[in-house]
Amino acid sequence: MQYDIPWVEKYRPQRLDELVGQEEIVKRLKSYVKNRNLPNLLFAGPAGTGKTSAAFALAKELFEEHVEHNFLELNASDERGIDVVRTTIKDFARSLAFNADFKIIFLDESDALTADAQQAMRRTMERYSKITRFILSANYSSKLIEPIQSRCVIFRFKPLAKEQIIKKLEEIASKESLSLSKDALDAIVYVAEGDLRKAINILQASSAYSKTIDAEIVYNVSSRANPIEIQQMLKAALNKDFSSSRNFLQELLYKHGMSGEDILLQLYKETLNFKEINDEKRLKMVEAIAEINFRIVEGANERIQLEALLAKIVQL
- Summarised one tens digit per residue, pLDDT across range 129-176 is 888 899 999 998 888 999 999 999 999 999 999 999 999 999 999 999
Percent of the chain with pLDDT over 90: 50
In a domain, 76, yes or no: yes
Tally of domains in the chain: 3
Where does a domain end: 156, 174, 208?
A: 156
Q: What are phi and psi of 179, to 5 degrees?
A: -105, 115
In a domain, 285, yes or no: yes
245 and 278 in one domain?
A: yes
Where does a domain end: 104, 135, 156?
A: 156
243 and 200 in one domain?
A: no
299 and 193 in one domain?
A: no
How far, in Å, are 18, 33, 73, 245, 307 from residue 47 at the CA level? 18, 25, 17, 34, 32
108 and 85 in one domain?
A: yes
199 and 70 in one domain?
A: no
152 and 273 in one domain?
A: no
Give residue 2's pLDDT.
40
Give residue 21's pLDDT.
86
In a domain, 34, yes or no: yes
Mean residue pLDDT across the chain: 88
**CATH number reported for the structural domain that contains residue 194 in this entry:** 1.10.8.60
45 and 11 in one domain?
A: yes
150 and 14 in one domain?
A: yes
**Pick from 42, 147, 59, 53: nearest CA to 102:** 59
273 and 243 in one domain?
A: yes
For residues 96, 97, 100, 103, the Cα torsion angle rounded to the nearest 10 degrees is -120
Q: Is pLDDT above 50 for 1?
A: no
**CATH number reported for the structural domain that contains residue 151 in this entry:** 3.40.50.300
Q: Is pLDDT above 90 for 289?
A: yes
In a domain, 41, yes or no: yes
- Whether the full predicted model's pTM is greater than 0.75, yes or no, is yes
Where does a domain end: 181, 206, 221?
A: 221
- Summarised one tens digit per residue, pLDDT across range 173-232 is 999 999 999 999 999 999 998 899 999 999 999 998 889 999 999 998 888 888 999 999
* CA–centroid distance for 253 within its chain: 25
In a domain, 2, yes or no: no
Q: Is pLDDT above 90 for 77?
A: no
108 and 78 Cβ atoms separated by less than 8 Å: no
51 and 17 in one domain?
A: yes
In a domain, 173, yes or no: yes
114 and 42 in one domain?
A: yes
7 and 171 Cβ atoms separated by less than 8 Å: no
In a domain, 1, yes or no: no
Confidence of residue 81 (pLDDT cuts 50, 70, 90): low
- Expressed as residue numbers, the domain containing 216 is 162-221
In a domain, 151, yes or no: yes
17 and 136 in one domain?
A: yes
Give residue 130's pLDDT.
86
